[in-house]
Amino acid sequence: MSPRFLLSIVAVVVIAGLAGFGFYAYRPSLPVVTVVEPSSFSPDMVEKGRILAAAGYCATCHTAAGGQSYAGNYPVETGFGTIYASNITPDPVTGIGGWSPAAFRRAMHDGVRRDGAHLLPAFPFDHFTKMTDEDVDAIYAYLMARVAPVAEKTRDNTLPFPLNQRILQAGWKLLFVDFGRYRPDPGKSAQWNRGAYLVEGVTHCGACHTPRNLLGAEKTGEAYAGAPIDKWIAPALTAANPSVVPWSAADFTRYLATGSGVYHGIAAGPMGPVVHAGLRELPRSDIEAIGAYLGAAIGAPDTNPADNPVVMASLKAGRLDPAYRRDLGERLYATACAACHYNASTVVEGRPELAINSSARLAEPTNLIHVILDGVDAKNGTGGIVMPAFRHALSDAQIAAVAAYLRETRAKLAPWPELAAQVARIRAEGAGH
Ligand code: HEC
Ligand code: HEC
Ligand code: HEC
């Protein structure tokens, strides 16, 4: 074969490939409709949509700090640049007032904008694709009927070329997204399937708890293995969770319903709004279904702390030890922390036992440092219970000393490296959510 002939074959293959990709990537613009009359939706549907919108944290991402609800421009920081969440109020020009239910469904299920442009995965459509048409329509009804229209233009994202070319997003979808509604597993109970539907779909737990590959897609085969998110660490929700006591279905349910897991930790940082602005709207039976789904994967029985020798041994080990060398870490712990975290040898709701708290046991000190620096406000953690912030009271070296002390005497795990430098970095980043 002549090189020329070979070249023309390559050219034909490349052109056919591009044409095929173009055909795959092309999505038509859907017609603009007049804003739907709010009274055309049934109150039941609007109420269902309100609950689902809460459980999908739509407002958390679609409201900028100090901005109007759902008017967008909340910055989602990615490793590649900042993506601004869109205005999804019913404003016909800058929001989604001109979108039909079909256009809204296509955005939620396929990640495509009304005008046919591909949406970026900072919007978790890779999870929302699992939701039923009925549930997506209910969210549409809620947004149209209850959310005030706000005229506010969404800022352009700051992704560099070629990542800002939305057409390329079609390739990412082809490689990484398993599109389609949730398919119930007939071998499992109705409760398990309900939990799986909620976790995989609207509540998109994996968006934070599953590690991502270099192109920002959740790694298949490593679901819920734990991942860095918004400058915090979302711990593993599998048997790889660092807790002394494996999470049972009842533990998950308790934590997700109250923000406090007596054996493990509290919902601070980015997990705060998940519990207190999101899941709290769901009926108790849905929280139990989520607990059952996650608990089944670990398979640990539900136990009472007082009957659990592992917990009791950890608590005893966590008391101040008179023989301990009384270095800076212990002195600071005794004076700054022990007045509240005083190791009563019994597990107390809303005041985590640091001997069994996940933040002292994770491979990274990030969450522990955040909590010491910025405390826990009344909105987060166990609702209505606060821990003071030590940002202005303790230096980087002092926070490092307390963290190292807890790591050594409570978690009894290998020391974290270069702690003072990590405290300095996390302090400079701010509260991080
Ligand atoms: C983790 C943050 C996050 C969450 C949670 C989230 N969104 Fe978004 N959403 C975004 C971002 C960022 C964009 C813009 C993506 C882009 O520019 O490609 C977006 C875009 C959209 C769009 C496309 C609108 C347009 O004109 O670009 C719709 C519709 C939408 N989101 C609806 C929702 C709904 C409904 C929920 C809750 C069920 C939700 N989103 C939850 C971040 C989020
Ligand atoms: C926006 C990101 C985000 C989302 C979404 C999210 N989480 Fe979390 N989650 C976190 C972070 C960060 C922590 C650590 C909080 C802390 O240390 O106080 C956490 C902590 C937890 C813990 C406690 C783990 C431990 O060992 O202490 C559980 C359980 C949990 N999440 C379950 C869930 C479930 C179930 C969902 C979905 C319904 C979910 N999370 C959705 C970020 C998230
Ligand atoms: C005034 C009482 C008080 C003091 C002092 C205090 N804490 Fe706390 N701490 C709390 C309470 C209460 C919570 C639980 C907050 C909630 O559930 O909303 C908490 C939570 C925590 C958590 C759990 C974080 C998680 O995500 O699970 C850690 C770790 C922690 N404190 C460490 C410390 C350290 C270290 C010090 C000393 C530098 C300290 N605390 C000082 C009251 C206190």
pLDDT digits (tens, 9 = 90+) for 38-82: 899 999 999 999 999 999 999 999 999 999 999 999 999 888 899
Q: Are 74 and 61 in contact (CB under 8 A)?
A: yes
Does 333 share its domain with 279?
no
Q: Is residue 109 part of a domain?
A: yes
- Domain count across the chain: 3
Q: CA-to-CA distance for 249 and 288, rounded, in angstroms?
A: 8
Q: CA-to-CA distance for 396 and 296, rounded, in angstroms?
A: 41
Count of H-run helices and E-run strands, the chain: 17, 6
Q: What are phi and psi of 76, to 5 degrees?
A: -95, 110
From the CB of 385, is ligand 3 less than 6 Å away? yes
Q: Is residue 44 part of a domain?
A: yes
Split at pLDDT 50, 70, 90, the class of 338 is confident
User: Which of 33-37, 102-106, 276-280, 317-321 has the weakest average pLDDT?
Assistant: 317-321
Q: Are 335 and 392 in contact (CB under 8 A)?
A: no
From the CB of 86, is ligand 2 less than 6 Å away? no
Distance from Cα 145 to the centre of ligand 1, integer Å:
18
- Average pLDDT over all residues of the chain: 92
Split at pLDDT 50, 70, 90, the class of 139 is very high
Q: Is residue 231 part of a domain?
A: yes
Distances, alpha carbon 378 to alpha carbons 274, 375, 385, in Å: 15, 10, 5
Distance from Cα 271 to the centre of ligand 2, integer Å:
5
Q: What is the pLDDT of residues 11-20, one digit of tens each?
A: 677 777 787 8
Q: Give the atom of ligand 2 at the shortest distance from the alpha carbon of 207.
A: 5
Among 61, 105, 133, 271, say which to mutate for ligand 1: greatest number of ligand atoms within 8 Å of CB: 61
pLDDT at residue 405 tops 70: yes
pLDDT at residue 5 tops 70: no
Does 311 share its domain with 294?
no
Q: What is the DSSP letter of 265?
A: E
Mean pLDDT for 131-153 is: 98
From the CB of 58, is ligand 1 less than 6 Å away? yes
Does 242 share its domain with 327?
no
- The per-residue pLDDT for 422 is 98
Closest CA to 104 of 77, 78, 141: 141
pLDDT at residue 201 tops 90: yes
- The per-residue pLDDT for 57 is 97
Distance from Cα 301 to the centre of ligand 2, integer Å:
21
Q: Is residue 358 part of a domain?
A: yes
From the CB of 209, is ligand 2 less than 6 Å away? yes
From the CB of 88, is ligand 1 less than 6 Å away? yes
- The per-residue pLDDT for 191 is 98
- The per-residue pLDDT for 21 is 79
3-state SS class at 148: coil
Distance from Cα 235 to the centre of ligand 2, integer Å:
7
**Sign, Cα dihedral of 408, 412, 418, 421:** negative
Residue 290 identity: I
Task: Give the residue whose CA is nearest to atom 3 of ligand 2.
Answer: 208
Q: CA-to-CA distance for 346 and 321, rounded, in angstroms?
A: 17
- The per-residue pLDDT for 227 is 97
Mean pLDDT for 134-155 is: 98
Does 366 share its domain with 419?
yes
Q: What is the pLDDT of residues 278-305, one digit of tens each?
A: 999 999 999 999 999 999 999 988 887 7
Does 311 share its domain with 404?
yes
Mean pLDDT for 396-419 is: 94
Q: Is residue 171 part of a domain?
A: no
Task: Give the residue whose CA is nearest to atom 18 of ligand 2.
Answer: 268
- The per-residue pLDDT for 143 is 98
Q: Which of 234, 267, 298 is the last residue of a domain?
A: 298
- Calculate what percentage of the chain has a pLDDT beyond 70: 94
Does 361 share its domain with 271?
no
Does 60 share its domain with 109?
yes
**Which residues contact residue 367 at a Cβ distance below 8 angstroms, ignoring those fewer than 6 apart?**
232, 233, 235, 268, 269, 358, 359
Does 74 share its domain with 121?
yes
Distance from Cα 349 to the centre of ligand 3, integer Å:
12
pLDDT at residue 323 tops 70: no
Q: What DSSP string runs through 61-119?
A: HHB-TTS-TT-B--EEEETTEEEEPP--SS-TTTSSTT--HHHHHHHHHH-B-TTSPBP
From the CB of 136, is ligand 1 less than 6 Å away? no
- The per-residue pLDDT for 311 is 79
Q: CA-to-CA distance for 211 and 219, rounded, in angstroms?
A: 6
Q: CA-to-CA distance for 409 and 226, rounded, in angstroms?
A: 24
Residue 68 identity: Q
Distance from Cα 190 to the centre of ligand 1, integer Å:
29
- Ligand of minimum distance to the alpha carbon of 264: 2
Question: What count of other Cβ atoms lies within 10 Å of the Cβ of residue 207?
Answer: 18
Q: Are 243 and 226 in contact (CB under 8 A)?
A: no
CATH code for position 242 = 1.10.760.10
Among 229, 332, 340, 342, say which to mutate for ligand 3: greatest number of ligand atoms within 8 Å of CB: 340
Does 273 share its domain with 324?
no
Does 312 share its domain with 268?
no
- The parent domain of residue 65 ranges over 25-150
Q: Is residue 252 part of a domain?
A: yes
Distance from Cα 352 to the centre of ligand 3, integer Å:
7
pLDDT at residue 421 tops 80: yes
Q: CA-to-CA distance for 323 and 327, rounded, in angstroms?
A: 11
From the CB of 329, is ligand 3 less than 6 Å away? no
Q: What DSSP string runs through 219-264?
A: PTT-TTS-EEETTEEE--SSTTS--SSPPBHHHHHHHHHHSEETTT
Q: Which of 150, 182, 200 is the last residue of a domain?
A: 150
Does 42 share its domain with 118?
yes
From the CB of 357, is ligand 3 less than 6 Å away? yes
pTM (global) more than 0.85:
yes
pLDDT at residue 318 tops 70: no
Q: Give the atom of ligand 3 at the shortest distance from the alpha carbon of 333.
A: 37
Distance from Cα 270 to the centre of ligand 2, integer Å:
8
Q: Which of 273, 298, 323 is the last residue of a domain?
A: 298
Does 77 share its domain with 138?
yes
User: Which of 308-322, 327-341, 343-357 has the weakest average pLDDT?
Assistant: 308-322
Q: Is residue 257 part of a domain?
A: yes
